[in-house]
């Protein structure tokens, strides 16, 4: 954990960051990774890119919602208070937006703009997710290894008959060999 105490304004800064980011949670929190990286690694120096990527990987591998990496980042920076602050702040915006949008979309069920807006958000989400992936791939020391990971993922996605446990086992074996 960092030397900053929760009373130093770090909790308030994290809450403000995640509250702002929570209104951009289109398709989940993965598209927000570059902004989180900027805060925790580049601006504040609270962790390294490897720690940052490790927390995201851990949350992705663990059962349950993958948003848990948000709490892990907060915990690393400010302990339990940081975990609750980040998770609460990132959850507030979508809760408010979903409540408002559900009422509005219910009234617009016959309006063609409803489908246009929904179709327009899909490429935005994909682009934001790709930017987060590119940032995480930048933490890999060996570019050829990153290319190998990308090719492996593409193979898995193109041939969905490959069992996910085989992919996880292969990744674990490669990680153990590289460690």
pLDDT (tens digit per residue) in 70-115: 999 999 999 999 999 999 999 988 888 888 988 887 888 788 888 8
Task: Please count the other Cβ atoms lying within 10 Å of the Cβ belonging to residue 70.
Answer: 28
Mean pLDDT of 111-135: 81
- In this predicted model, what pLDDT tens digit does every residue of 25-58 receive, in sequence order? 766 788 889 999 999 999 999 999 999 999 998 8
Alpha-carbon span 63 to 113, nearest angstrom: 37
Nearby residues of 64 by Cβ (< 8 Å), 6 or more positions away: none
SS3 for 65?
coil
Determine the pLDDT at residue 47.
Answer: 95
Q: What residue spans define the domains of the chain?
A: 6-139, 142-179
Look up the pTM and report it: 0.60
Distance, CA of 169 to CA of 165 (rounded, Å): 6
For the chain, the C-alpha Rg in angstroms (whole number) is 19
């Amino acid at each position: 954990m960092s030397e900053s105490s929760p009373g130093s304004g770090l909790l308030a800064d994290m809450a403000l960051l995640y509250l702002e980011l929570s209104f951009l949670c289109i398709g989940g929190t993965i598209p927000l990774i570059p902004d989180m990286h900027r805060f925790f690694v580049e601006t504040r120096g609270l962790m390294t890119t490897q720690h940052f990527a490790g927390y995201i990987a851990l949350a992705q591998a663990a059962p349950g919602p993958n948003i848990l990496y948000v709490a892990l980042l907060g915990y690393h920076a400010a302990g339990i208070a940081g975990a609750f602050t980040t998770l609460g702040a990132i959850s507030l915006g979508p809760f408010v937006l979903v409540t408002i949008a559900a009422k509005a979309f219910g009234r617009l069920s016959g309006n063609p703009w409803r489908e246009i807006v929904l179709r327009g958000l899909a490429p935005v989400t994909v682009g934001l997710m790709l930017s987060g992936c590119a940032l995480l791939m930048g933490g890999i020391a060996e570019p050829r290894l990153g290319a190998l990971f990308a090719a492996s993922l593409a193979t898995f996605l193109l041939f969905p008959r490959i069992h996910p446990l085989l992919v996880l086992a292969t990744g674990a074996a490669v990680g153990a060999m590289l460690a």
